[in-house]
C-alpha cells in the first residue's frame, strides 16, 4: 500500500543534509563546545527538513508535474551550491552528511516496517490463540472492573464544575471529560425517558433547563436480545435509553466543524453506542476539525411492533416504527444543539452499518427526516430488510400477548421491564424491522429512491463480500441456521417466475459441490449485495451523487468473516476494537480510508494527490457505477457487477415482482 521511501524522500534528504552539515560545521568553526555543535546540527537540520518537506509534499508540487520538476531541479542546484560553498570556504564536503542522511532515509522506514510487522504478527498470534477457528463467533474477554466502569451513571451537579468541559444546550448544561485533546460528552438525553406512561409512545422533546449534569458516563443501552456475540450485552440496559454521546477534538474554533453521527449496528434487536467499534476518539485525534455523535434508540418489541388490533392499542399509534422516530428525534436534537459543541448543523453526515445503515435508507426517503442530514455513509444495509405491510408486526403482537398472558394494552403497559425483556429473548425469531406504512416511510422504498425522495443527499455505500459470516458471529451458529431458512422464504417472496427459476438453478448447481446450507449462505451473501447495489442504482438514476465501496478483504479467521466490523474499524481507525472482534487493522489502508472519509465530511472531492499521505500515489475515487474495491490491502476503482453475483438475472428488474 505505502512505499517505504520515494524520490521525494531523497530530495528532502538533500536539503536536510545541508542543514545538518552547515549547523555542525559553522558551530565547530566558531569554537563552540561539542554539545553546542550537536545542538546546532540537529536544530538547523531538523528545521531544514521540516521546511523542505512542507514544500516537496505540498499539493501544489505533487499535483503539477512541471512544478515538481522545477522544485526538484532547484533542490539539486541548491545542494550543489551548498557543496561548492562548504568545500571552498569551510573545507568540508556535504557528501558525507548526505550519505548519513540517505542512510537515515532508508534505514528508519525499513526498521519501522519491521517493528510494525513484528507487532502485527504478535497481535495475530494472540488473536488466533484466543479465537482458534472462530467457530464460536465473537467472544469478548472483558475485565470486571472495565464493565463496572462502563456501567457508571451520570449524576446532577449542584456544586462547582469544570467550566472548560461544560456546554450549555437548550435542555441543560453538560459537563464532559477530557481525554488528551479529545473531549467526550456521554449519556446526554435527547428526549424524555420513554418509561411509565410514555412506554411505546413517540419520543417527546425535553423541556428547557439550566440544570447542570455530568456527561462522563454512557447512558444505558436499549433493552435488547442478548446474542452470544454481542459485546453490548455486558452493558447495563434500560427502557430509559434515549441518550447520545458527543466527541469533540482539538481546541474550540470560530469555524464550525462537520458532524459525523454514528448509527449502531445490529439487527434492530441488539446493539448500542457502547460498542467500542463506534469510538470516535482515534479519528478525532487525527482530524480534530470533526464532531462525533453516537446514540441509542429503542429496539425489538420496544421499537418495532403493531398494537393497532388489540383493545386499547389506539393509545399507542406510533409503535410500528418507534425506533425510527427515536432516530429522527436524536437528529433533531443534534441539529438544534450541536452548534454549542462547535458542530455545524448544516454539515451533518450520518453513518451506519447493518440495521443502522438500513435505518439511514429509511430516513433518507422520509419526509419527517428531510433536511436533518446532508451526507450518508451506508455499510451493508438494505431497503430489502423492511416490511411492506404490518402483518408480521401484528403477528409479533399476538405472540407477545401469548408469552406474557395479557390481552389488552393496559395489561401490557403494566408489565415490568424484566418480564418484557424475557419475552423478547424468547420471541427473537419473530422480531420485526421497520414497516413501509406509507406515512413515515413510503410504501416502496426502491421506487422512492428512484423518484428522488432522497434528493440533496450525497452517499457512500459499502457492499461487503463476507457479511453472512459476520452476522453468524454476532448471533451464533444455531440462530443463524434458523434465520437462513426464514430469509430464503423472504427472498422467494420478492421474485417472480424468472427470478425464482434463476435462484433454483443456482442452488442446484451449488449443492452439487457443497452442502445445502453453504449454498443458501452463498445465495444470501449475493442477495444482500444485490439489494444494496440496486439501491445505489436507484439513487444514481435520481441524480444523487453516489460512491461505492466493495470490501473484499480476506478475514484473519475465516469463520468470523470480514464485513461491517472491519469497514467501520478501518474508517474510524479503531484498531483496538477490531482486535476484540478477531482481526488486525491494516493501518496503511485505514489511514487512506480515514483521509477519504474526512474529505467526504467536508464536501471535498474524493481524491488523493501523490504523497498527500506520505508514500501513497495519487488516487481518484470514481463515482457510480465504478466502485472503490478494497482487496488484499490494495485499492482500485472498477465495476463490481461480476463480483457481487453469479446470478446475472437478478441484476435486472425483470426478475422481481413489481
pLDDT of residue 300: 95
Q: How far is CA 567 from CA 46, 594, 601, in A?
A: 37, 11, 17
What whole-number percentage of the chain has pLDDT above 70?
Answer: 100
pLDDT value of position 297: 98
As a residue count, the chain comes to: 658
Q: Which of 293, 294, 274, 284 is nearest to 146 (CA)?
A: 274
List, for residues 348-380, the tens digit of each pLDDT value. 999 999 999 999 999 999 999 999 999 999 999
Region 13-22 average pLDDT: 93
Band the pLDDT of 250: cuts 50, 70, 90.
Answer: confident
Residue 1 has pLDDT above 80, yes or no: no
Inform me whether the pLDDT recorded for 105 exceeds 90. no
Q: Give the residue extent of every domain in the chain.
A: 7-120, 132-655
Q: How much is the average pLDDT of 446-466?
A: 96
State the CB neighbour count (10 A cutoff) for residue 293: 26
Query: Residue 133's pLDDT is what?
Result: 93
Q: How far is CA 574 from CA 60, 279, 466, 518, 554, in A?
A: 32, 7, 20, 31, 18
* Distance from C-alpha of 231 to C-alpha of 270, rounded to nearest angstrom: 10
Q: For 546-573, how does the pLDDT look when each residue is reduced to its tens digit (9 = 90+)?
A: 999 999 999 999 999 999 999 999 999 9
Q: Is the pLDDT of residue 458 over 90?
A: yes
Phi, psi of 596 (to 5 degrees): -65, -40
Average pLDDT over residues 290-303: 97
The half-sphere exposure of 587 on its side-chain side, counting CA atoms within 13 A, is 10
Phi, psi of 156, deg, nearest 5: -65, 150
User: What pLDDT is attached to residue 5?
Assistant: 85
pLDDT class of 532 with cuts at 50, 70, 90: very high
What pLDDT does residue 405 have?
A: 96
Residue 480 scores a pLDDT above 90: no
Q: Identify the pLDDT of residue 609.
A: 94
Q: Is the pLDDT of residue 104 over 90?
A: no
Model pLDDT, residue 429: 83
Name the pLDDT band for 150 (thresholds 50, 70, 90): confident
Note the pLDDT of residue 478.
Answer: 81
Average the pLDDT over 315-322 and give the result: 95
Query: 224-243: per-residue pLDDT in tens?
Result: 999 989 999 999 999 999 99
Q: What is the pLDDT at residue 9?
A: 92
Residue 623 C-alpha cell reads as 463515482
Which of 321, 540, 527 is CA-nearest to residue 449?
Answer: 540
Average pLDDT over residues 647-658: 86
pLDDT score, position 252: 78
Cβ neighbours of residue 288 under 8 Å, at least 6 residues apart? Answer: 181, 182, 249, 250, 251
Which residue from 264, 278, 234, 128 is spatially nearest to 582, judged by alpha carbons? Answer: 128
CA separation (Å) from 182 to 165, 177, 436, 592?
11, 9, 40, 22
The arithmetic mean of pLDDT across residues 452-468, rounded, is 95
Q: Is the domain 132-655 a CATH 3.40.50.1820 member? A: yes
Cell of 211: 440544570
For residue 146, the model assigns a pLDDT of: 80
Contact between 183 and 197 under an 8 Å Cβ cutoff? The reply is no
* Mean pLDDT computed over every residue of the chain: 93
Share of the chain above pLDDT 90, in %: 81
| Residue of 572, 468, 592 lying closest to 522 (CA atoms) | 468
User: Residue 492 has what pLDDT?
Assistant: 87
Q: CA 572, 578, 580, 584 torsion: positive or negative?
A: negative
The count of other CB atoms within 10 Å of the CB of residue 487 is 20
Q: Do residues 176 and 188 make contact, with C-beta atoms less than 8 angstroms apart?
A: no
Tell me which residue has cell 470490501.
551
pTM above 0.85, yes or no: yes
Amino acid at each position: 500500500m505505502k512505499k517505504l521511501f520515494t524520490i521525494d524522500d531523497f530530495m528532502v534528504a538533500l536539503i536536510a543534509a545541508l542543514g545538518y552539515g552547515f549547523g555542525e560545521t559553522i558551530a565547530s568553526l566558531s569554537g563552540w563546545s561539542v554539545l553546542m555543535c550537536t545542538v546546532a546540527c540537529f536544530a538547523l537540520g531538523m528545521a531544514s527538513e521540516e521546511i523542505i518537506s512542507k514544500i516537496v509534499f505540498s499539493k501544489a508540487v505533487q499535483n503539477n508535474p512541471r512544478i515538481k520538476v522545477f522544485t526538484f531541479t532547484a533542490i539539486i542546484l541548491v545542494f550543489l551550491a551548498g557543496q561548492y560553498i562548504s568545500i571552498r570556504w569551510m573545507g568540508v564536503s556535504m557528501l558525507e552528511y548526505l550519505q548519513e542522511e540517505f542512510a537515515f532515509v532508508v534505514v528508519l522506514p525499513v526498521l519501522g516496517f519491521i517493528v510494525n510487522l513484528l507487532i502485527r504478527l504478535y497481535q495475530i498470534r494472540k488473536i488466533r490463540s484466543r479465537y482458534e477457528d472462530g467457530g464460536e463467533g465473537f467472544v469478548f474477554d472483558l475485565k470486571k472492573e472495565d464493565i463496572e466502569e462502563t456501567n457508571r451513571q451520570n449524576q446532577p451537579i449542584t456544586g462547582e464544575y469544570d467550566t472548560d468541559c461544560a456546554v450549555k444546550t437548550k435542555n441543560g448544561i453538560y459537563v464532559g471529560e477530557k481525554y488528551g485533546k479529545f473531549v467526550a460528552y456521554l449519556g446526554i438525553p435527547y428526549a424524555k425517558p420513554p418509561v411509565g406512561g410514555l412506554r411505546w409512545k413517540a419520543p417527546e422533546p425535553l423541556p428547557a433547563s439550566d440544570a447542570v449534569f455530568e456527561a462522563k458516563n454512557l447512558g444505558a443501552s436499549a433493552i435488547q436480545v442478548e446474542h452470544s456475540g454481542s459485546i453490548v450485552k455486558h452493558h447495563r440496559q434500560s427502557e430509559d435509553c434515549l441518550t447520545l454521546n458527543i466527541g469533540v477534538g482539538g481546541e474550540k474554533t470560530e469555524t464550525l466543524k462537520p458532524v459525523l453521527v454514528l448509527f449502531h449496528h445490529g439487527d434492530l434487536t441488539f446493539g448500542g453506542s457502547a460498542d467500542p467499534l463506534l469510538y470516535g476518539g482515534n479519528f478525532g485525534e487525527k482530524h480534530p476539525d470533526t464532531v462525533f455523535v453516537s446514540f441509542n434508540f429503542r429496539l425489538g418489541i420496544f421499537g418495532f411492533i403493531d398494537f393497532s388490533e388489540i383493545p386499547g392499542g389506539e393509545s399507542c399509534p406510533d409503535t410500528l416504527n418507534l425506533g425510527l422516530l427515536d432516530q429522527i428525534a436524536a437528529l433533531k436534537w443534534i441539529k438544534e444543539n450541536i452548534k454549542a459543541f462547535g458542530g455545524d448543523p448544516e454539515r451533518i453526515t450520518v453513518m451506519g452499518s447493518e440495521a443502522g445503515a438500513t435505518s439511514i435508507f429509511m430516513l433518507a426517503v422520509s419526509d419527517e427526516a428531510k433536511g436533518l442530514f446532508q451526507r450518508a455513509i451506508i455499510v451493508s444495509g438494505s431497503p430489502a430488510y423492511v416490511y411492506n405491510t404490518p402483518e408480521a408486526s401484528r403477528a409479533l403482537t399476538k405472540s407477545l400477548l401469548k408469552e406474557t398472558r395479557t390481552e389488552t394494552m393496559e395489561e401490557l403497559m403494566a408489565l415490568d421491564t424484566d418480564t418484557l425483556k424475557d419475552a423478547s429473548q424468547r420471541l427473537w425469531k419473530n422480531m420485526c424491522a421497520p414497516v413501509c406504512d406509507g406515512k413515515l416511510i413510503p410504501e416502496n422504498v426502491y421506487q422512492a429512491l428512484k423518484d428522488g425522495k432522497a434528493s440533496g443527499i450525497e452517499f457512500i455505500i459499502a457492499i461487503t463480500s463476507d457479511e453472512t459470516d459476520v452476522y453468524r458471529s454476532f448471533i451464533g451458529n444455531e440462530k443463524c441456521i434458523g434465520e437462513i431458512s426464514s430469509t430464503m422464504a423472504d427472498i422467494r417472496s420478492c421474485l417472480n417466475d424468472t427470478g425464482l427459476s434463476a435462484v433454483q438453478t443456482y442452488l442446484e448447481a451449488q449443492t452439487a459441490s457443497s452442502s445445502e446450507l453453504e449454498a443458501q449462505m452463498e445465495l444470501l451473501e449475493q442477495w444482500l449485495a444485490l439489494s444494496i447495489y440496486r439501491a445505489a442504482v436507484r439513487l444514481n438514476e435520481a441524480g444523487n451523487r453516489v460512491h461505492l465501496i466493495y470490501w473484499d478483504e480476506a478475514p484473519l479467521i475465516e469463520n468470523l468473516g470480514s464485513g461491517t466490523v472491519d469497514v467501520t474499524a478501518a474508517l474510524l481507525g479503531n484498531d483496538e476494537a477490531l482486535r476484540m472482534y478477531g482481526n488486525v487493522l491494516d493501518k496503511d489502508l485505514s489511514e487512506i480510508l480515514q483521509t477519504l472519509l474526512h474529505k467526504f465530511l467536508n464536501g471535498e472531492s474524493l481524491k488523493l494527490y501523490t504523497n498527500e499521505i506520505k508514500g501513497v500515489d495519487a488516487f481518484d475515487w470514481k463515482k457510480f457505477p465504478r466502485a472503490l474495491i478494497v482487496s488484499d490491502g490494495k485499492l482500485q476503482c472498477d465495476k463490481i457487477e461480476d463480483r457481487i453475483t453469479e446470478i446475472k438475472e437478478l441484476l435486472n428488474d425483470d426478475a422481481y415482482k413489481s
